[in-house]
Amino acid sequence: MVTEDDVRRIALALPETTEKPMYGTPAFYVRGKWFARIREEGDVLVLPLASEEEKAELIAAQPATFFTTPHYDGYAAVLVRFGAVDDVELRELLIDAWRLRAPKRTAADFGG
């Protein structure tokens, strides 16, 4: 099971990433655009996705890992349970979300 410290360590290792609160919880930004936020529960991560279709596919394929709430209906964002991912999968998810929000040149320069 990953922890908030794992999320922070991996996210802040990505280029041009900063941490600042969003809705009173830790969130991570690349050049001012959020790409990850830890929810109030402390063991759930919010990540942006490319589309609502991708969200539906992730939830259908791995409902123990990915889910949503009515608050996120209509948004391309998914919730991830800390207890359902390991360090490797967390890193992949954070990099994907970071690439989605990072400036094209910054993302292209990142070997990751």
Q: Which CATH number fits domain 4-105: 3.40.50.1370, 3.40.47.10, 3.40.1190.20, 3.90.1150.30?
A: 3.90.1150.30
Q: How far is CA 7 from CA 70, 95, 99, in A?
A: 24, 11, 16
Tokens of 10: 């991996």
Residue 112 above 80 pLDDT?
no
Taking only the tens place, the pLDDT of each residue in 53-99 is: 999 999 999 999 999 999 999 999 999 999 999 999 999 999 999 99
**Cα–Cα distance, 95 to 69 (Å, whole number):** 23
pLDDT digits (tens, 9 = 90+) for 6-45: 999 999 999 999 999 999 999 999 999 999 999 999 999 9
